[in-house]
Amino acid sequence: MNKQAHINKLQRYLSQANSYEQWSEIAQTLDEALDHQQWKLDPYSDIYNFEVLSERMHALRNLRLENDLSGLSRALREGLHHDLGNMGDPRLYNQSYFGTKRLIDDYVDEVCIALRYLCDHPQSALLPAQKLDFFKAILLSYGRPALLMSGGASLGAFHLGAVKALWERDLLPQVIAGSSAGSIIAALLGTHTDEELPEFFDPNALSLKPWKWAGLLSGLRGKGFMEQRQLQETIRDYIGDYTMQEAFERTGRSVNISVSPVKHHQKERLLSGYTSPYLLMWSAALASCAVPTIFPPVQLQQKDETGQQSPYMPRLRWVDGSVVSDLPIERLRHLHDVNFSIVSQTNPHVVPFLKEEHEQSNKLHHLPARILKGELRFHGEAVFDYLRKNTTNSIVRQTSGQMYSLLSQSYKGDVTLSPRYKLKHYAGVLSNPSSEFISELMLQGERATWPRLAMINTHAKISKTLEQCISDLKKSVRAHRATLRVIA
């Protein structure tokens, strides 16, 4: 077998891998066959400032080995910057099948070792509370990643695969956002601990029955073509009756759920523990899944002072979060200091264009078609923007507003994971998914994520280490205060 035939065979096997271990072994074999290893071992590249990374790495290592806690603290507090030297540039992660420059991995590892060393060192002059404030300040300055999951109805099973791939490599962000179908997965993550998550990665253990036909008459009356109670019971069975705040206290994950307004003078909302701590999580997910005409608008529910369920903002109703804010990246930047977005995109009306755009991005002969599509989108936005602002008919105004939002919002992140749909997938959008359907989409989610793990690791590992240090130090602070109370 000649070299090219061998490479083609390996590429085919790579696309068919059924586990990360299998995928990584084939990817590394491909890198060896294509002589990519030398590129990874050589730190030089004009894409990033390798000299800055090398200097910083050796400085941190020397301070740690010399046990210079004061110098190490100062170096981390002043010199730890996200995307230092442009090390997160996507081009550095497209040169090989597995990983990137060894220097980048070594730098990230050294920073994480230094952070843990400082966090765990018993001889630090800082009290636990002071050390906690120190690490919080670094995280605030450095920023953190977020996982955002789009709508997509039953196609949202893809999200579970992406989550599984991230969770298994300890790269699942603490900040999670979801709209429509993505809100259900976000709520699952927000209400279940790491020990409980594996049960949701087994397609045979999932029994998802969210769809039940309500009848043509129900739809024509504006009550939705699908039974909302069926969806509510499905969501509530898996999520329980946790509030946003209770969920965060249970798992440490910050869940954010998008909902869209019904009336034109309302604003979209991002529901989270910060903005709506007493809101019932299942209620937020139900509202975010209320696709107009498919389901009726939803009145949100909260826990009152007595622990009983009561209406939240009782005069208002809410619908599908994807309509206005499928991916609330800007809001997450303000609420959670997010500086890197991992997007799992499954919207059936978006995915084909993402795939086409990716395939055409470097092909000059596709430029006219891309320009034409850009012009059509621009003029479409202008038309619907005019109608939503100037028409007096409430139905036209509302519909125009929704169409404007669908056209004007962005559907991509710093890393965008998306499936490859076939006709059968579109046919199953509004059907109760079988275990086989879920399994297939989950595997697609994993396969889409594995090649992006190196880039995600560069952006996320330091933030994850900071978050783990903060969690450990909070426990130390509580223990220290308990000791002081006993002494007193």
pLDDT digits (tens, 9 = 90+) for 288-297: 999 988 999 9
Last residue of a domain, one of 143, 161, 187: 143
Confidence check: pLDDT of 464 > 90: yes
Average pLDDT over residues 186-212: 90
Question: For residue 398, is it within any domain?
Answer: no
Position with higher pLDDT, 396 vs 20:
20
| Residue 358: predicted pLDDT | 47
pTM of the shown model: 0.89
180 lies in the same domain as 129: no
Question: Confidence band (pLDDT; 50, 70, 90) for 359?
Answer: very low
Burial (CB count <10 Å: 0-12, 13-18, 19+), residue 343 = buried
The answer to whether the CB of 180 falls within 8 A of the CB of 291 is yes
Question: Confidence band (pLDDT; 50, 70, 90) for 300?
Answer: very high
Average pLDDT over residues 28-49: 95
Average model confidence (pLDDT) across the chain: 87
297 lies in the same domain as 274: yes
Percent of the chain residues past pLDDT 70, beyond the cut: 86
Question: For residue 234, is it within any domain?
Answer: yes
The answer to whether the CB of 197 falls within 8 A of the CB of 171 is no
245 lies in the same domain as 344: yes
| Residue 360: predicted pLDDT | 44
Confidence check: pLDDT of 481 > 80: no
134 lies in the same domain as 180: no
Cα three-residue angle 377-378-383, rounded to 5 degrees: 95
Strands 338-344 and 318-319: unpaired
192 lies in the same domain as 94: no
**Matching residue, tokens 């009152």:** 304
Question: For residue 394, is it within any domain?
Answer: no
Phi, psi of 435 (to 5 degrees): -65, -35
pLDDT tens column, 119-149: 998 876 677 888 999 999 999 999 999 999 9
Neighbouring residues of 437: CB distance < 8 A, sequence distance ≥ 6 = 154, 157, 428
Instruction: List the one residue out of 201, 209, 204, 198 whose CA is nearest residue 154.
Output: 209
Percent of the chain residues past pLDDT 90, beyond the cut: 66
180 lies in the same domain as 266: yes
CA distance 298 to 58: 56
Confidence check: pLDDT of 371 > 60: no
Q: Please state the separation of Cα 297 from the chain's center in Å.
A: 26
110 lies in the same domain as 149: no
149 lies in the same domain as 292: yes
Last residue of a domain, one of 143, 165, 186: 143
CA distance 297 to 285: 12
Question: For residue 470, is it within any domain?
Answer: no
| Residue 379: predicted pLDDT | 45
| Residue 450: predicted pLDDT | 98
97 lies in the same domain as 211: no
Confidence check: pLDDT of 392 > 90: no
Strands 269-272 and 309-311: unpaired
Position with higher pLDDT, 43 vs 421:
43
Strands 309-311 and 301-303: antiparallel
| Residue 94: predicted pLDDT | 92
Confidence check: pLDDT of 43 > 70: yes
The answer to whether the CB of 184 falls within 8 A of the CB of 156 is yes
CA distance 285 to 151: 11
In this structure, of 9-18, 166-175, 211-220, 338-347, the range with the lowest mean pLDDT score is 211-220
**Cα–Cα separations (whole angstroms), residue 40 to 91, 94, 99, 103, 273:** 13, 11, 8, 8, 42
Task: Print the domain residue range for 218.
Answer: 144-350+415-453
| Residue 403: predicted pLDDT | 57
Cα three-residue angle 273-453-436, rounded to 5 degrees: 80
237 lies in the same domain as 328: yes
Residues linked to residue 302 through DSSP beta bridges, in sequence order? 279, 310
Q: What's the domain count of the chain?
A: 2
Question: For residue 298, is it within any domain?
Answer: yes
